[in-house]
Amino acid sequence: MSVSRIDLAAGGPNFSRIALGAWRIADARLEPRDIVALVRAAVDLGITTVDHADIYGSYTCEKLFGDALAADPQLRAKLQLVTKCGIKLVSANRPAHRVKQYDTSRAHIVASVDNSLAHLRADKIDLLLIHRPDPLMDADEVAKAFVDLKQAGKVLHFGVSNFTPSQFELLASRLPFPLVTNQIQFSALHLDALDNGALDQCQRLRISPMAWSPLHGGRLVKEESARALTVRESLAVVAKEIGATPEQGAIAWILMHPSKPVPVLGTTNLQRLRSLAGSESVKLSREQWFRVWTASSGHEVP
Protein backbone atom coordinates (compact mmCIF):
# COMPACT_ATOMS: atom_id res chain seq x y z
CA MET A 1 0.00 0.00 0.00
CA SER A 2 1.38 3.40 -1.03
CA VAL A 3 1.47 6.37 1.32
CA SER A 4 -1.26 8.85 0.40
CA ARG A 5 -0.84 12.52 -0.46
CA ILE A 6 -2.03 15.70 1.18
CA ASP A 7 -2.17 19.42 0.42
CA LEU A 8 -0.50 21.17 3.34
CA ALA A 9 -2.72 24.15 2.67
CA ALA A 10 -5.24 25.34 0.11
CA GLY A 11 -3.24 25.70 -3.08
CA GLY A 12 -0.48 23.34 -1.99
CA PRO A 13 2.15 22.17 -1.69
CA ASN A 14 1.02 18.61 -2.36
CA PHE A 15 3.18 16.32 -0.22
CA SER A 16 3.30 12.68 0.75
CA ARG A 17 1.41 12.05 4.01
CA ILE A 18 4.68 10.87 5.56
CA ALA A 19 8.00 12.59 4.83
CA LEU A 20 11.60 11.37 4.86
CA GLY A 21 14.02 13.35 7.01
CA ALA A 22 17.57 13.66 5.70
CA TRP A 23 19.28 14.93 8.86
CA ARG A 24 20.97 11.60 9.67
CA ILE A 25 22.56 10.78 6.34
CA ALA A 26 25.89 12.32 7.38
CA ASP A 27 25.97 10.82 10.88
CA ALA A 28 25.08 7.41 9.41
CA ARG A 29 28.04 7.78 7.02
CA LEU A 30 25.92 6.70 4.07
CA GLU A 31 27.67 6.19 0.77
CA PRO A 32 26.09 7.80 -2.30
CA ARG A 33 24.67 4.45 -3.39
CA ASP A 34 23.08 4.04 0.05
CA ILE A 35 21.41 7.45 -0.18
CA VAL A 36 20.04 6.62 -3.62
CA ALA A 37 18.78 3.24 -2.36
CA LEU A 38 17.08 4.93 0.59
CA VAL A 39 15.36 7.51 -1.60
CA ARG A 40 14.32 4.91 -4.19
CA ALA A 41 12.81 2.78 -1.43
CA ALA A 42 10.98 5.81 -0.05
CA VAL A 43 9.58 6.75 -3.47
CA ASP A 44 8.47 3.18 -4.07
CA LEU A 45 6.52 3.45 -0.80
CA GLY A 46 4.95 6.75 -1.87
CA ILE A 47 7.18 8.84 0.40
CA THR A 48 8.30 11.57 -1.99
CA THR A 49 8.74 14.54 0.36
CA VAL A 50 12.28 14.95 1.75
CA ASP A 51 13.02 17.26 4.67
CA HIS A 52 16.40 19.04 4.87
CA ALA A 53 17.98 21.98 6.64
CA ASP A 54 21.11 23.89 5.70
CA ILE A 55 22.76 23.01 9.04
CA TYR A 56 22.16 19.25 8.99
CA GLY A 57 25.36 17.25 9.26
CA SER A 58 27.18 20.45 10.14
CA TYR A 59 26.29 21.90 6.73
CA THR A 60 27.00 18.68 4.77
CA CYS A 61 23.73 16.77 4.31
CA GLU A 62 22.28 18.84 1.49
CA LYS A 63 25.41 18.40 -0.61
CA LEU A 64 25.67 14.68 0.16
CA PHE A 65 22.07 14.31 -0.95
CA GLY A 66 22.42 16.43 -4.08
CA ASP A 67 25.64 14.75 -5.17
CA ALA A 68 24.18 11.28 -4.62
CA LEU A 69 21.07 11.95 -6.68
CA ALA A 70 22.84 13.86 -9.45
CA ALA A 71 23.23 10.72 -11.56
CA ASP A 72 19.51 9.88 -11.37
CA PRO A 73 17.51 12.91 -12.60
CA GLN A 74 14.34 10.84 -13.05
CA LEU A 75 14.37 9.97 -9.36
CA ARG A 76 15.08 13.57 -8.39
CA ALA A 77 12.10 14.77 -10.43
CA LYS A 78 9.76 12.68 -8.28
CA LEU A 79 10.70 14.47 -5.06
CA GLN A 80 9.41 17.50 -3.19
CA LEU A 81 12.24 19.22 -1.33
CA VAL A 82 11.84 21.00 2.00
CA THR A 83 14.69 22.87 3.62
CA LYS A 84 15.18 25.23 6.52
CA CYS A 85 17.42 28.19 7.31
CA GLY A 86 17.99 30.77 10.01
CA ILE A 87 20.37 28.98 12.40
CA LYS A 88 24.09 29.73 12.35
CA LEU A 89 26.14 26.91 13.85
CA VAL A 90 29.71 27.09 15.07
CA SER A 91 31.26 24.67 12.60
CA ALA A 92 34.53 23.95 10.85
CA ASN A 93 32.46 24.34 7.68
CA ARG A 94 31.55 27.91 8.68
CA PRO A 95 34.75 29.30 10.24
CA ALA A 96 33.32 32.84 10.39
CA HIS A 97 30.69 31.76 12.92
CA ARG A 98 31.96 32.39 16.45
CA VAL A 99 28.76 31.88 18.44
CA LYS A 100 25.64 29.82 17.75
CA GLN A 101 22.93 32.30 16.81
CA TYR A 102 19.86 32.92 14.69
CA ASP A 103 19.86 35.09 11.60
CA THR A 104 16.63 35.86 9.76
CA SER A 105 17.95 38.88 7.88
CA ARG A 106 17.02 39.09 4.23
CA ALA A 107 20.66 38.71 3.20
CA HIS A 108 21.10 35.51 5.20
CA ILE A 109 17.84 33.93 4.03
CA VAL A 110 18.59 34.61 0.36
CA ALA A 111 22.19 33.43 0.67
CA SER A 112 21.05 30.28 2.47
CA VAL A 113 18.57 29.46 -0.28
CA ASP A 114 21.20 29.97 -2.97
CA ASN A 115 23.56 27.64 -1.08
CA SER A 116 20.83 25.04 -0.62
CA LEU A 117 19.91 25.12 -4.31
CA ALA A 118 23.56 24.65 -5.27
CA HIS A 119 24.13 21.84 -2.77
CA LEU A 120 20.90 20.03 -3.64
CA ARG A 121 21.57 20.58 -7.37
CA ALA A 122 18.02 21.85 -7.66
CA ASP A 123 16.43 24.73 -9.56
CA LYS A 124 13.76 25.30 -6.91
CA ILE A 125 12.80 24.45 -3.34
CA ASP A 126 9.23 23.32 -2.81
CA LEU A 127 9.03 24.58 0.77
CA LEU A 128 11.34 26.86 2.77
CA LEU A 129 11.00 27.08 6.55
CA ILE A 130 12.50 29.47 9.08
CA HIS A 131 14.13 26.90 11.35
CA ARG A 132 13.71 28.52 14.77
CA PRO A 133 12.07 31.67 16.13
CA ASP A 134 14.58 34.53 16.08
CA PRO A 135 14.20 37.09 18.91
CA LEU A 136 15.60 39.70 16.51
CA MET A 137 13.32 38.70 13.62
CA ASP A 138 12.12 41.70 11.61
CA ALA A 139 8.92 40.35 10.08
CA ASP A 140 8.99 42.91 7.27
CA GLU A 141 12.52 41.89 6.31
CA VAL A 142 11.68 38.17 6.31
CA ALA A 143 8.60 38.88 4.23
CA LYS A 144 10.71 40.83 1.72
CA ALA A 145 13.09 37.86 1.41
CA PHE A 146 10.17 35.46 0.90
CA VAL A 147 8.52 37.63 -1.74
CA ASP A 148 11.79 38.08 -3.63
CA LEU A 149 12.53 34.34 -3.56
CA LYS A 150 9.04 33.49 -4.76
CA GLN A 151 9.18 36.04 -7.58
CA ALA A 152 12.57 34.64 -8.62
CA GLY A 153 11.08 31.14 -8.80
CA LYS A 154 13.59 29.81 -6.29
CA VAL A 155 11.04 28.84 -3.64
CA LEU A 156 7.41 27.83 -4.25
CA HIS A 157 5.99 27.83 -0.71
CA PHE A 158 6.98 29.11 2.72
CA GLY A 159 6.44 28.16 6.34
CA VAL A 160 8.08 28.12 9.74
CA SER A 161 9.41 25.63 12.25
CA ASN A 162 9.06 25.60 16.05
CA PHE A 163 7.11 28.89 16.05
CA THR A 164 4.55 29.78 18.69
CA PRO A 165 1.12 30.83 17.38
CA SER A 166 1.89 34.51 18.06
CA GLN A 167 5.24 34.30 16.22
CA PHE A 168 3.49 32.56 13.32
CA GLU A 169 0.79 35.24 13.18
CA LEU A 170 3.34 38.06 13.25
CA LEU A 171 5.16 36.80 10.18
CA ALA A 172 1.95 35.81 8.40
CA SER A 173 0.60 39.34 8.87
CA ARG A 174 3.37 40.75 6.66
CA LEU A 175 3.02 38.34 3.74
CA PRO A 176 0.87 38.62 0.59
CA PHE A 177 0.53 34.81 0.53
CA PRO A 178 -0.12 32.31 3.34
CA LEU A 179 2.41 30.37 5.36
CA VAL A 180 1.59 26.72 4.64
CA THR A 181 2.92 24.88 7.71
CA ASN A 182 4.59 25.01 11.10
CA GLN A 183 7.04 22.12 11.57
CA ILE A 184 6.85 21.26 15.26
CA GLN A 185 8.06 18.59 17.63
CA PHE A 186 5.20 16.19 18.29
CA SER A 187 5.20 12.59 19.46
CA ALA A 188 3.73 10.31 22.10
CA LEU A 189 6.61 11.46 24.32
CA HIS A 190 6.36 15.16 23.43
CA LEU A 191 2.84 16.50 23.96
CA ASP A 192 3.50 20.25 24.12
CA ALA A 193 1.85 20.99 20.77
CA LEU A 194 -1.45 19.67 22.11
CA ASP A 195 -1.52 22.44 24.73
CA ASN A 196 0.50 25.40 23.44
CA GLY A 197 -1.89 26.35 20.65
CA ALA A 198 0.25 25.25 17.71
CA LEU A 199 -2.05 22.43 16.58
CA ASP A 200 -5.14 24.50 17.32
CA GLN A 201 -3.82 27.23 15.05
CA CYS A 202 -3.13 24.75 12.26
CA GLN A 203 -6.70 23.51 12.45
CA ARG A 204 -8.07 27.05 12.46
CA LEU A 205 -6.03 27.96 9.39
CA ARG A 206 -6.64 24.57 7.74
CA ILE A 207 -2.94 23.92 7.29
CA SER A 208 -1.17 20.67 8.11
CA PRO A 209 1.76 20.81 10.54
CA MET A 210 4.87 18.76 9.94
CA ALA A 211 5.92 16.68 12.96
CA TRP A 212 9.65 16.31 13.54
CA SER A 213 11.07 13.59 15.80
CA PRO A 214 7.85 11.51 15.71
CA LEU A 215 9.63 8.71 17.61
CA HIS A 216 11.25 11.30 19.90
CA GLY A 217 14.65 10.88 18.27
CA GLY A 218 14.45 7.12 18.78
CA ARG A 219 14.08 7.56 22.53
CA LEU A 220 10.53 6.26 22.33
CA VAL A 221 12.07 2.95 21.28
CA LYS A 222 15.29 2.89 23.34
CA GLU A 223 15.10 5.22 26.34
CA GLU A 224 14.95 3.49 29.72
CA SER A 225 13.31 6.28 31.71
CA ALA A 226 10.17 5.38 33.64
CA ARG A 227 8.01 7.56 31.40
CA ALA A 228 9.41 6.14 28.16
CA LEU A 229 8.96 2.59 29.43
CA THR A 230 5.34 3.34 30.40
CA VAL A 231 4.54 4.83 27.01
CA ARG A 232 6.34 2.01 25.21
CA GLU A 233 4.35 -0.55 27.17
CA SER A 234 1.09 1.23 26.34
CA LEU A 235 1.99 1.34 22.65
CA ALA A 236 2.92 -2.34 22.70
CA VAL A 237 -0.47 -3.27 24.14
CA VAL A 238 -2.32 -1.09 21.63
CA ALA A 239 -0.19 -2.38 18.76
CA LYS A 240 -0.99 -5.97 19.66
CA GLU A 241 -4.70 -5.15 19.69
CA ILE A 242 -4.60 -3.66 16.19
CA GLY A 243 -2.05 -6.01 14.63
CA ALA A 244 0.77 -3.50 14.24
CA THR A 245 4.23 -2.81 15.63
CA PRO A 246 4.63 -0.33 18.51
CA GLU A 247 6.50 2.05 16.19
CA GLN A 248 3.66 1.92 13.67
CA GLY A 249 1.27 2.62 16.52
CA ALA A 250 3.33 5.66 17.55
CA ILE A 251 3.17 7.13 14.03
CA ALA A 252 -0.53 6.27 13.68
CA TRP A 253 -1.11 8.07 17.00
CA ILE A 254 0.26 11.27 15.42
CA LEU A 255 -1.61 10.78 12.15
CA MET A 256 -4.90 10.53 14.04
CA HIS A 257 -4.82 14.17 15.14
CA PRO A 258 -7.40 16.22 13.17
CA SER A 259 -4.81 18.84 12.16
CA LYS A 260 -3.48 16.13 9.79
CA PRO A 261 0.22 16.22 10.74
CA VAL A 262 2.90 15.00 8.34
CA PRO A 263 5.41 12.95 10.38
CA VAL A 264 9.05 13.32 9.30
CA LEU A 265 10.83 9.97 9.59
CA GLY A 266 14.54 10.26 10.39
CA THR A 267 15.45 6.62 9.82
CA THR A 268 18.10 5.53 7.32
CA ASN A 269 17.25 1.84 7.85
CA LEU A 270 15.38 0.47 4.83
CA GLN A 271 13.54 -2.22 6.79
CA ARG A 272 12.32 0.29 9.38
CA LEU A 273 11.33 2.75 6.66
CA ARG A 274 9.18 0.10 4.97
CA SER A 275 7.57 -0.80 8.27
CA LEU A 276 6.84 2.80 9.26
CA ALA A 277 5.37 3.57 5.84
CA GLY A 278 2.61 1.14 6.76
CA SER A 279 1.57 3.29 9.72
CA GLU A 280 -1.03 5.12 7.66
CA SER A 281 -3.11 1.94 7.34
CA VAL A 282 -3.02 1.43 11.13
CA LYS A 283 -6.11 2.82 12.83
CA LEU A 284 -6.43 3.53 16.55
CA SER A 285 -9.71 3.94 18.36
CA ARG A 286 -10.29 7.09 20.38
CA GLU A 287 -9.93 5.00 23.54
CA GLN A 288 -6.56 3.62 22.40
CA TRP A 289 -5.34 7.11 21.53
CA PHE A 290 -6.21 8.35 25.03
CA ARG A 291 -4.58 5.34 26.68
CA VAL A 292 -1.29 6.36 25.07
CA TRP A 293 -1.87 10.01 26.02
CA THR A 294 -2.58 8.99 29.62
CA ALA A 295 0.59 6.90 29.75
CA SER A 296 2.64 9.84 28.49
CA SER A 297 1.06 12.58 30.59
CA GLY A 298 1.08 10.47 33.74
CA HIS A 299 -2.53 11.19 34.62
CA GLU A 300 -6.05 10.85 33.32
CA VAL A 301 -7.77 13.71 31.54
CA PRO A 302 -9.33 16.15 34.04
Confidence tier at 251 by pLDDT (50, 70, 90): very high
15-50 pLDDT, tens digit each: 999 999 999 999 999 999 999 999 999 999 999 999
The pLDDT of residue 90 is 98
Over residues 138-165, mean pLDDT: 98
Which residues form the domain of 157?
5-295
Using alpha carbons only, give the angle 207, 211, 214 rounded to the nearest 5 degrees.
155
pLDDT at 1 over 80: no
Indicate whether 86 belongs to any domain. yes
Residues in the chain: 302
Active site residue 102: no
Confidence tier at 195 by pLDDT (50, 70, 90): very high
Indicate whether 300 belongs to any domain. no
Indicate whether 166 belongs to any domain. yes
- Measured over the CA atoms of residue 15, residue 106, residue 88 and residue 29, the dihedral's sign is positive
Indicate whether 238 belongs to any domain. yes
Confidence tier at 91 by pLDDT (50, 70, 90): very high
Over residues 122-136, mean pLDDT: 98
CB atoms within 10 A of CB 115: 16
Indicate whether 215 belongs to any domain. yes
- Mean pLDDT (the chain) is 97
Q: Are 134 and 104 in contact (CB under 8 A)?
A: yes
Please give the distance of CA 227 from its chain centroid, rounded to a whole number. Answer: 24
159-189 pLDDT, tens digit each: 999 999 999 999 999 999 999 999 999 999 9
286 by Cβ neighbours in 10 Å (0-12 / 13-18 / 19+) ranks as exposed
Indicate whether 302 belongs to any domain. no
- The CA distance from 83 to 117, in Å, is 10
pLDDT at 71 over 90: no
How do beta strands 87-88 and 101-102 pair?
antiparallel
% the chain with pLDDT above 70: 100
Over residues 140-166, mean pLDDT: 98
Q: What is the CATH number of the domain that holds 111?
A: 3.20.20.100
pLDDT at 5 over 80: yes
26, 35, 42, 56: the active-site residue: 56
Confidence tier at 9 by pLDDT (50, 70, 90): very high
Indicate whether 204 belongs to any domain. yes
Indicate whether 130 belongs to any domain. yes
State how many domains the chain has. 1
